[in-house]
Structure 1
Amino acid sequence: MLDGCTPWPEEFAERYRSAGYWRDETLGELLGGLARSHPGRTALVAGPERWSYAELDARTDRMAAGLHRIGIGPGDRVVVQLPNIPELVALMFALFRIGAQPVLALPAHRSSEITYFCEFTDAVAYVIPDVHVGFDYRELAAEVTARVPTLKHVLVAGDPGDFAALPLDGDPVDLPRPDPAGVALFLLSGGTTGVPKLVPRAHQEWSYSGRAVAEACDYGEETVHLVSLPLSHNWPLTHGLLATFHAAGTLVLAPGPSPDEAFPLIERERVTETGLIPGAALLWMEAAEWDEYDLSSLRRVTIGGTKLQPEMARRVEPALGCRLQQAFGMAEGLCGFHRWDDPQDVVLVSQGLPVSPADEVRVVDEDDNDVAPGEVGRLLARGPYTVRGYYRAPEHNARTFTADGFYRTGDLVRLLPTGHVIFEGRVKDQINRGAEKIAAEEVENHLLAHPGVREVALVGLPDEVLGERSCACVVPRGTAPTLAELAAFLRDRGVAAFKFPDRLEIVPRLPLTPLGKVSKKTLAGMFH
């Protein structure tokens, strides 16, 4: 195991190997096997590019040879900041074959985050587009290289300017086989404060997570999965790319999730599956009312990233004409989805079942005691694809992982008798109003039922008397409601008075973190 990473206890490693969850196969070998078994099947569609599994495999081999030629080798870290373009897929698999580890940054990251990722991982290379959404990444690269002495290479998809062009190309060469138990890539933690921590994912455990998703979601060769969210994010990467490839399906990349970008691709490629965050799903539902694109090929839309409130969930299937699947997941591992035959009432209120029979879930109080069945508590997780620690973070790991290896997710949940998980908020997403604890998501769900509320986030603001007061930040639907109207609405729904918002702010949109979550830190800062 790479220095700075927490190894799996041998007892658990042997258990997962014996059960067949972990296979003696690298991610590069996974792609090679698909190229042999399904050479002519379309693996990837992005813009004008349409690559079969054999073509993707060949491009990966040639790119790996080019990277090897410039000195990138096993154990090297490469910070990758590319949008949804085909080069991102080929580059990842090329690095997997070399045994180098991509550190997957998001297109929205800027100098502070990229410099940190490069310094913290001792990265030897940084891969960027030339210009994306009006931003020139070559200028960012010049700034970062001046600060990070370990960076030897900047590779650019597009016009390289003063740097080198991607893709590098070379005749395929024999490369040492990476260890399937070794680190394959680094994902970013999904926290909403501070610089994201790095999550090391190994070939065999991360590959299993994609295979488990494909099995839970009944993917097959006929699956055509549209990824419109940033592919470098864990959810599109696992639920989209990895699960689709395990099923020998087709991955379609869109530059973004807007209906203008996604709907034409759904019609042209006969997309069957896609994943959205709730805000994007809302835009799709509204656009589908008047848009003339044919979305009839859609079998299912999966919504996750943040909780889909029941009031919005009820609208998805009538609006989009396909099955709703809720999902949850985290870069650290544990993920869950509804199954095709789950009853509708369960689909509307819960976020799914863990994907693996070996996933272990506990719901505990603040002292790690199990709560009573059906009670809200803190979610702990352990299993064959949930990591045992962050990269180079021993003090944080001591707080975040239990002595017996459970990951403290920071989520407040309750379990249905069926095992389905209902997310009730974050441990820290509570407002302490005069010693009364307000779960923000509970109030938000009520407010979303108001006809004048399109989106809402409830945040706590400092108060000298009460400690905190609550502020409802509302994106209105039509005429904006007043604070008094919202209070009357909540009163009619039987909500306790101390949960009524103390303040109302009307906003045009809710700010998001780079990972697509509502940034309550930003909202609190706007109105403090």
Structure 2
Amino acid sequence: MLSDLRRAAATFPDRRAIVAQVAGGAETVCLTYRELHRQVFRFAAALRAQGVLPGEVVSFQLPNRWENAALTLACAAVGAVAAPIMASMGPRERARFQEWTSARISVLAEDLPYYTDGDWDAGDDGSADDPDRVFLVLFTSGTTGEPKAVLHSHNTLHAALAHFTAVEDLGDPVVTVTPHSLSRIAGLAFGVLLPLLTGGTALYQDEWDPVALHRLISAEGATVLAAAPPFLSAILAAQRENPLPLSFRCVMAGGMPVPRQLAGEVAGQFGLPLRALWAMTEGGFSWTRATDPADFATRSDGRFGPHLEFDLAPGGESPLRIRGAAAALATMDTGSGAVRVLAEEGWYDTGDLAQPDGHGGIRVTGRAVDRIGGISMILVKEVEDELAGHPAVGQVALVGYPDRAHGELACAVVVPEGAPPTLAQLRAYLTERGMTEWYQPHRLELVPELPRNEMGKVRKNLLRKQLIATDQGFHPGM
């Protein structure tokens, strides 16, 4: 990342690197590449002043502001490991993540004046970071629903984007926008890495406001939009309400299935085909191409570039496995501390089920039963363990069910202990313990017992089928 930053600062010093809406669009902050370069190395000097050494972890929880990107890059300048935490995470998860990484320091939004206002030396000594060392740690849910740390290097992050920028016509300059958190893989890829790699401009918004973002998209001539369907639908609604000139070259939707109506609206209002995007924290992404049929995004999750190969059983649905340059260096189980080096293991089981799309790509059809989430994964085991402490909960299993707006939400299937709890009581209980709001169940089902296999493990696949059947009007006596 540092080489990309230095190249852009030398080639386009006065080009805007970041245009950020803050306070819900009430204010706009712009940084040129010259200014971003200066701020990155000021932040690096501030980190060193706090005693951060190469290889140590810097944890930070910041909204989508320029300081988020600058601090990420400053970690590279120091040789530290960046450990970003989504701004929507609750205090419980934030504390756990910091504990798991043994972070040297933790930076919150209220700490930013130390970095932005201090008299720090902005000098760049030209030192190069090792592109293959562990640079970034992100947290996600594994196939068993337990929290897992994913370790990336500069090169694993660059691998997919390098091919993407080589084969796609994204405009000149490239102007990217994504409403997703810069502390997650999609937001980081399209909000920080892609602009740096191309010397382009990134558009940020610290508080989601589709109307204000729509105006910014038009004013700045955004060429690349990457968003989950609900965000994309809100921007389309803003365009219907107030048609403005748009400059999109590539519009991508990921994180959940693409509704057929959405693909038609993108083609009608934006004048180009909607692209489907499949990505995961563990690395890389697939996407549909501009040359694919107009509605292909509703039938395929695209093709990988040479950065990843995939493995599927011929014909029907099977577990999706990947390997290649974009795969993370390793994953770490937060419970046992066990590290799995992906390059040594070969194929990595993504936890998703897929089938060939007939055009050399994939169509994701489902996921392993203990993974729940649409735009972001829920740490299932964490929620179950906390719910088990409620006095009215005898046994509990957290199961995903389809939701049109969010892709998938969590249902708590509970065997009551005494008087049965209500959903509101369970959510209030989790909130009191600092549990992140979107981790919490949106549905409650009370059952006399949980179905188990011969090993005593809850048969969540059966529970999920029963939830779906109930929603479709069938009542199998759950």
TM-score of the two chains, using structure 2 as the length reference: 0.74
Aligned equivalent of 1:471: 467
CA distance, structure 2, for counterparts of residue 299 and residue 121 of structure 1: 39
Alpha-carbon distance change, 360 to 194 in structure 1, aligned in 2, over 3 angstroms: closer
CA distance, structure 1, for counterparts of residue 135 and residue 217 of structure 2: 31
Q: Percent of aligned pairs with the same residue? A: 26
8 Å CA contact 1:351–1:421 kept in 2: the answer is yes
CA distance, structure 1, for counterparts of residue 327 and residue 136 of structure 2: 14
Q: Deviations over 1:13-50 (max 9, x none)?
A: xxxxxxxxxxxxxx212211221122222211113322
Q: Tell me the CA shift for residue 190 of structure 1.
A: 5.0
What SS class does the counterpart of residue 180 from structure 1 fall into?
A: coil
Aligned equivalent of 1:14: none
8 Å CA contact 2:258–2:276 kept in 1: the answer is yes
Equivalences for 1:150-169 in 2 at 5 Å? 156-158=111-113, 164=114, 166=116, 168-169=118-119
Q: Tell me the CA shift for residue 330 of structure 1.
A: 0.8
Equivalences for 1:77-156 in 2 at 5 Å? 77-130=57-110, 156=111
Q: Tell me the CA shift for residue 230 of structure 1.
A: 1.2
CA distance, structure 2, for counterparts of residue 463 and residue 402 of structure 1: 44
Q: For structure 1, which runs of at least 5 residues remain unmatched after alignment?
A: 1-26, 131-155, 159-163, 364-370, 432-438, 474-482, 488-499, 504-527
* C-alpha RMSD of the superposition: 3.5
Q: Tell me the CA shift for residue 332 of structure 1.
A: 0.7
Counterpart check, 1:372 vs 2:314:
yes
Letter in 2 for 1:361: F
Q: Deviations over 1:141-193 (max 9, x none)?
A: xxxxxxxxxxxxxxx125xxxxx454644222648543221111112225598
Alpha-carbon distance change, 28 to 455 in structure 1, aligned in 2, over 3 angstroms: closer
Equivalences for 1:321-336 in 2 at 5 Å? 321-336=271-286
Alpha-carbon distance change, 426 to 401 in structure 1, aligned in 2, over 3 angstroms: farther
Aligned equivalent of 1:234: 185
Alpha-carbon distance change, 82 to 466 in structure 1, aligned in 2, over 3 angstroms: closer
Letter in 1 for 2:181: P
What SS class does the counterpart of residue 234 from structure 2 fall into?
A: helix
CA distance, structure 2, for counterparts of residue 454 and residue 39 of structure 1: 40
Q: Tell me the CA shift for residue 195 of structure 1.
A: 6.2
Q: Deviations over 1:340-373 (max 9, x none)?
A: 212224233111111x31411001xxxxxxx223
Alpha-carbon distance change, 391 to 417 in structure 1, aligned in 2, over 3 angstroms: same
Aligned equivalent of 2:475: 502
Alpha-carbon distance change, 273 to 502 in structure 1, aligned in 2, over 3 angstroms: farther
8 Å CA contact 1:220–1:247 kept in 2: the answer is no
What SS class does the counterpart of residue 275 from structure 1 fall into?
A: strand
Counterpart check, 1:200 vs 2:196:
no
Equivalences for 1:176-325 in 2 at 5 Å? 177-190=128-141, 196-289=147-240, 291-325=241-275
Deviates more, 1:306-315 or 1:243-252: 306-315
Equivalences for 1:322-471 in 2 at 5 Å? 322-354=272-304, 356-363=305-312, 371-373=313-315, 375-391=316-332, 404-428=345-369, 467=451, 468=463, 470-471=466-467
Aligned equivalent of 1:138: none
8 Å CA contact 1:266–1:295 kept in 2: the answer is no
Alpha-carbon distance change, 100 to 269 in structure 1, aligned in 2, over 3 angstroms: same
Q: For structure 2, which runs of at least 5 residues remain unmatched after alignment?
A: 22-27, 373-398, 414-444, 452-462
TM-score of the two chains, using structure 1 as the length reference: 0.67
CA distance, structure 1, for counterparts of residue 353 and residue 337 of structure 2: 20
8 Å CA contact 1:77–1:100 kept in 2: the answer is yes
Counterpart check, 1:65 vs 2:39:
no
Alpha-carbon distance change, 62 to 388 in structure 1, aligned in 2, over 3 angstroms: closer
Letter in 2 for 1:40: D
Alpha-carbon distance change, 313 to 293 in structure 1, aligned in 2, over 3 angstroms: closer
8 Å CA contact 2:276–2:301 kept in 1: the answer is yes
8 Å CA contact 2:77–2:129 kept in 1: the answer is yes
Q: Tell me the CA shift for residue 202 of structure 1.
A: 0.8
Letter in 2 for 1:45: V
Query: Which structure is richer in relative contact order (CA contacts within 8 A, separation 6 or more)?
Result: 2
Alpha-carbon distance change, 213 to 239 in structure 1, aligned in 2, over 3 angstroms: farther
8 Å CA contact 1:334–1:381 kept in 2: the answer is no
What SS class does the counterpart of residue 8 from structure 2 fall into?
A: helix
Deviates more, 1:192-201 or 1:54-63: 192-201
What SS class does the counterpart of residue 152 from structure 2 fall into?
A: strand
Aligned equivalent of 2:436: none
Deviates more, 1:322-331 or 1:189-198: 189-198
8 Å CA contact 1:229–1:236 kept in 2: the answer is yes
CA distance, structure 2, for counterparts of residue 465 and residue 112 of structure 1: 30
Aligned equivalent of 1:44: 18
Alpha-carbon distance change, 502 to 317 in structure 1, aligned in 2, over 3 angstroms: farther
Q: Tell me the CA shift for residue 73 of structure 1.
A: 1.9
Letter in 2 for 1:43: A
What SS class does the counterpart of residue 197 from structure 1 fall into?
A: strand
